Amino acid sequence: MLRRMLFSAIVVCAAAAPSWAGEGDVQRGGAYALAMCSSCHSVAADETASPNPAAKPFRSVKLADLPGGLVAWFNTDHPNTGRILKDAQGEDIAALVASLAKQ
């Protein structure tokens, strides 16, 4: 039930995606974030805190502050338990993060 509500919130965010968000797709980013990131991070606009208090909510991530961009940061500095983020996944998640930051 909660996952459906989160996914619905992400789909709503997709409609508000800014045109400057790059080539990423907010819906794909939301689906990936829900599946792979939501156990630690708050990935929806309406969530107040992340499940892991040490993990920033996506809506508070500043993409410009990530050295080398999202993919480079994730693949080098993120405690990601060995997962590797592909360029397209990074663009999709960046589009999601950018859309959440604007809300």
pLDDT digits (tens, 9 = 90+) for 23-60: 899 999 999 999 999 999 999 988 789 999 999 899 98
Longest C-alpha distance within the chain, in Å? 37
Predicted model pTM: 0.71
- In terms of Cβ atoms closer than 10 Å to its own Cβ (0-12, 13-18, 19+), residue 96 is buried
pLDDT in tens, 51-95: 999 998 999 888 888 888 888 888 888 887 677 888 899 999 999
Q: What angle do CA 14, 15, 20 make, to 5 degrees?
A: 75
- d(Cα 12, Cα 88) in Å, to the nearest integer? 21
Burial label, 63 (beta-carbon count in 10 A; 0-12, 13-18, 19+): middle
